[in-house]
Amino acid sequence: MQNFKKSIFFKFSMEFDYKNAIKQMGYEPVCKMGKNQCSFAVYRARKNDKSYAIKFPKDFDEWDRDSLWSEYSVLRKVGNLEGIASAKEFVVSPYLALVKEYISGKPMRFFIEDKGLISRQKIYGEENRKFFRETLKGIHDAGFARLELVPENIVLSKGRPIFIDLGSAINARDICSETFENYKEKDIWAMEEYF
């Protein structure tokens, strides 16, 4: 973390050439991913016949850097869970970026219609609900909560729900136990809302 804090970071701007940055990191850019996120730009890229999602901060501020580092730390601890997009590397030079496993599939938001869900049982089934609960429990047991379980952060891939963004997760070590338990309850409530 010390080297990370001491690194010199490039100030990203609206004109920043993400595709060129991806090439300089040794990956081949494929396309921009997702809706316009306020703090991050995410691109799909390839290297050695594998696909990755590369997440760049749009601004040069401490919150974005810490958020990327936090997500990388979480993914390194829980990336062995089957329902998580695993981290590949955290790049600080020449550009700050988080490289994650690319998960093909559709974000849950595509299954939401007119402020309601299309037949949850039809889409997910009890087996996927159990799978999602077990993944969530594994993340909580590893000491992380406040997962921002929104439709854009969960992809249905090969019939399974996969967490693709854990950037808002907080470590139990960094907060009091009562607050951590409250965050866990909110995660479970959010899961029940969608599953």
pLDDT in tens, 137-187: 999 999 999 998 888 888 889 888 899 999 899 999 999 999 999 999 999
Q: Render the burial of 107-136: b for 16+ CB within 10 Å, e for the rest.
A: bbeebeeeeebeeeeeebeeebbebbeebb
Residue 27: enclosing H or E segment and its boundaries? none
CATH of the domain at 118: 1.10.510.10
- Interval 84-111 mean pLDDT: 87
- Is the Cβ–Cβ distance between 187 and 146 less than 8 Å? yes
Do 117 and 186 sit in the same domain of this protein?
yes
Work out the pLDDT band at 106, boundaries 50, 70, 90.
confident
- Select from 85, 101, 117 the last residue of a domain: 101
DSSP structure string for 81-129? STTBPPEEEEE-SSS-EEEEE---SEEGGGGEETTEES-HHHHTHHHHH
Q: Are residues 6 and 92 in the same domain?
A: yes
Q: Please state, in angstroms and rounded to a whole number, the distance separating the CA atoms of residues 84 and 136.
A: 10
* CATH number of residue 94's parent domain: 3.30.200.20
Which domain does 29 fall in, by range?
2-101
Same domain? 142 vs 74 = no
Quick one: 45 and 127 in the same domain? Answer: no
The C-alpha atoms of residue 105 and residue 110 are separated, in whole angstroms, by: 10
Distances (CA, A) of 120 to 65, 112, 127, 148, 161: 37, 10, 12, 20, 13
pLDDT at 10: 43
152 plus 82 within the same structural domain: no
In three-state secondary structure terms, 11 is coil
Which of 38, 70, 101 lies at the terminal end of a domain, its last residue? 101
Residue where one domain finishes, among candidates 101, 121, 148: 101
Assess whether 38 and 94 both reside in one domain. Answer: yes
On whether both 91 and 42 belong to a single domain, the answer is: yes
The one-character DSSP state at 15 is T
Query: Is residue 65 domain-shared with residue 143, that is, in the same domain?
Result: no
User: Is the entire prediction scored with pTM above 0.85?
Assistant: no
- Indicate whether 122 and 164 sit together in one domain: yes
Q: H or E element: which one contains 142? A: none
Mean pLDDT over the full length of the chain: 83
Q: Which residue has the tokens 């790049």?
A: 91
Judged by average pLDDT, the poorest of 15-29, 52-66, 135-149, 161-175 is: 52-66
Beta strands in the chain (DSSP E): 28-32, 40-47, 50-57, 87-91, 97-101, 106-107, 112-113, 116-117, 144-145, 154-157, 160-163, 170-171
Number of domains into which the chain is organized: 2
Whether 7 shows a pLDDT value over 50: the answer reads no
If you ran DSSP here, which 8-state letter would residue 5 be given? H
Shared domain for 7 and 88, answered yes or no, is yes
Residue appearing with tokens 């081949």: 28
Are residues 113 and 96 part of one domain? no
Residue 161's pLDDT is what? 87
Which of the pair, 70 or 14, is modelled with greater confidence?
70
| Pair (96, 111) in one structural domain | no
